[in-house]
Each structure stands twice: as C-alpha cells, then as structure tokens.
Amino acid sequence: MGFVRPEWLWLALLVPACALGYVALSRRRPARLLPRLAVERAPAWQRHLAPLALLVAAALLLVAAGGPTAPITVPTDRRTLILAMDVSGSMEGRDIAPTRLAAAQAAAKALIAELPRGVRVGVVAYADNAHVVQAPTAHREAALAAIERMKVEGGTAIGDGMLCSLGAIFPEGDAAKPAPHPPGGGPGWYRSAAIVLLSDGQNSLGADPMEAARQVALRGVRVYTIGFGTPAGTMIGPDNSQVLVRLDEDALKRIAAATGAEYFRATSGVELRRVYQDLQGRLELDREEIELSALFALAGALLVALAAGLSLAWFGRIA
C-alpha cells in the first residue's frame, strides 16, 4: 500500500497518545467519564468499547487523510493487445526454420490462443507501409486467421507500424492527440491497451520511429518491442544466398523505453514463444493504483456512529 499524502500520517502518533491518556484518566476518574450509576452497572468491556471504537475511527480517518492507494488488476474486458508484425522481405529468411515469418506466425498464434478470453486482439502488418489485418476483436478465430494470411512484402516501416497500431486502438480518428494525463502518471500510464511490435531489421522508410513512439507515448500506450533474428545478422534467402540483415536493437530499445515498456530479443521460434509467454504474464499482471481514502473515511465514520449509538444505548448519553 502506498500513500498520496504521506505527510499526514505523522498525525497518527496522536492515536496511541490519546489511548494512553484515556487509560490513565479512566483509572483515576471513572465517575467523571460516565454517569456513576451506569459505571457501576456496566461490565468493564462495555465501558471501554465505545472509546476504543472512537480511537480506531480516528486512526482510520487519519489514514484516509494520507490518501492510501492499492494496486488492482485491470479487468480483462478492458484490455486490447495489438500485434504489430514485420512482414518485410527479410522475414523470408530460412536461418530460423522453416522461415522467420512462419516461426513468428506460429509464436503469435500460440500467444493468441493462451490469452484470456476477455482480451481483444488486433493484428497489424508493416513492410513498405502498414495496414490493419484484423481490427481488435475478442474472436480468437478471426485473429488467428489474420496471422495466417500474412505474406512477405517489401521494406520496413517501423514508425508506420506503430502509428497504424495506435489507430487500431483509438479508431475514432484522434489517435495522434494526447489523451487526458493522470496526475503523476509517467510513460505507459494507459493500462487498457498495449502494442507488441516485432522486427527483424531496421527502419528503411515511412514515419520516423522515434517520432511515432512519441505520438504513442502521448496516448500513454506501451510498445513492447521484440528483435527477431540470429546473432550473426544474416539470413538465407529462397535461392540459398546469404544476405546481411542488421537488426537495429538500439532503436527498438529506445522505442520501448520512450513508451514505458521493455525490449526483448529472440533468436529462434522457441525463444520467441518464451518471449510471448513472458509478455503475457506481464500484461496480465499490470495493475493500476487506486486511492482508497473514501473507503477508510467511510469505515471511520461508521465506527464513530457505532460508538455514539452504543454509548447512547448503554449509558443514556453520547459523551
């Protein structure tokens, strides 16, 4: 548990001081605290229950003043996940069996199949440009079919892939406009959606990736980036020729950092599945901090009312 206004918690020291004062006063002057007849007839626990409730109420109200917060899991029916996949020519490479694209498709389909049913999944493919293959949907079959339809195209427009993904999350047409920013919220504060962007190369055309990342960050959406390919940086083309493919890890790391997310590296289909499994756990466990001041204040007020009611019922007076 955290606190928005922790400086108020110093006042909590008054509670034990009041408790000690009450104990001392009740031992020395019990008749001054309550009507003498009520004191003589009432059991000890009745005489002390109402003051104890008041002390607990005071503690709860002071905690409420401190602005207590607690993390809660975001409901899955509010979640949207966009898979932005590189379908540039280098994804034909056979250094990852059977091909880079086929391995990426298999890992993506495994991820979709394991996601909670309430999570909506969208699919974006980017090469020379980017387009939505499947708008966010809760229907797993539609998302899986969209992954299966992907074909290798041309270059690598990473920035376009991010902007297209952002448009899929906010289809109302104002994806580039900043959303209302919560007080104290940093990058990645929007917890209802996330983008997982996979690339095996470097940006070659389209929007500048960092400018696109800034636009995504304005909406508070996180972009988890995945670098896919072998450490040697080469791929085996369809004609068995070796082609150097440089993975721009630095750019992918900066994109993830700018949006409050993380970068991952996968050099095989098996590793990519593990990355997706790790991501699934992180996405499911993302939590929001909510303030609980109202709950603590309500509990304190109820205890005050209880103490007053008991004192009135047992001793015929509130104070």
Q: Looking at residue 273, which CATH number applies to its domain? A: 3.40.50.410
Q: Which residues have a Cβ under 8 Å from the Cβ of 162 and sit 6 or more positions away?
A: 84, 195, 197, 207, 209, 212, 213, 215, 216, 223, 255
Question: 115 and 36, same structural domain?
Answer: no
Model-level pTM? 0.66
Question: 165 and 114, same structural domain?
Answer: yes
Q: Among 150, 151, 159, which Cα is nearest to 130's?
A: 159
Q: Which two tokens stand for residue 229?
A: 């390919």
**H or E, element range at 141:** helix 140-148
The total number of structural domains that make up the chain: 2
In 10 A of CB 8, how many CB atoms?
A: 15
Question: 123 and 242, same structural domain?
Answer: yes
How would you write the pLDDT of the chain (319 residues) with one tens digit per residue? 777 788 777 777 777 877 777 777 766 655 454 555 444 555 666 666 777 777 788 888 888 888 888 776 555 555 899 999 999 988 988 888 898 999 999 999 999 988 887 789 999 999 999 999 999 999 999 999 999 999 998 889 999 999 999 999 998 755 545 555 554 556 778 878 999 999 998 898 999 999 999 999 999 999 999 999 876 666 655 566 666 677 889 999 999 999 999 999 998 999 999 999 888 877 754 556 678 888 888 888 888 888 777 777 766 666 5
Question: 97 and 52, same structural domain?
Answer: no
Question: 131 and 238, same structural domain?
Answer: yes
Question: 38 and 88, same structural domain?
Answer: no
Question: 266 and 298, same structural domain?
Answer: no
Question: 168 and 144, same structural domain?
Answer: yes
Q: Which residues pair with 130 in a beta bridge?
A: 126
Question: 201 and 123, same structural domain?
Answer: yes
Q: Among 44, 4, 10, 5, which Cα is nearest to 26's?
A: 44
Q: Are 107 and 273 in contact (CB under 8 A)?
A: yes
In 11-99, alpha helices (H)? 14-28, 30-33, 36-41, 44-65
Question: 249 and 164, same structural domain?
Answer: yes
Q: Which domain holds residue 26?
A: 2-71+291-315
Question: 59 and 145, same structural domain?
Answer: no
In 10 A of CB 276, how many CB atoms?
A: 26
Question: 295 and 205, same structural domain?
Answer: no
Burial bucket for residue 185 (CB in 10 Å: 0-12, 13-18, 19+):
middle
Q: Which two tokens stand for residue 310?
A: 């008991």
Q: Which two tokens stand for residue 53?
A: 């409730």
State the residue for tokens 């041309």.
154
**pLDDT score at 75:** 52
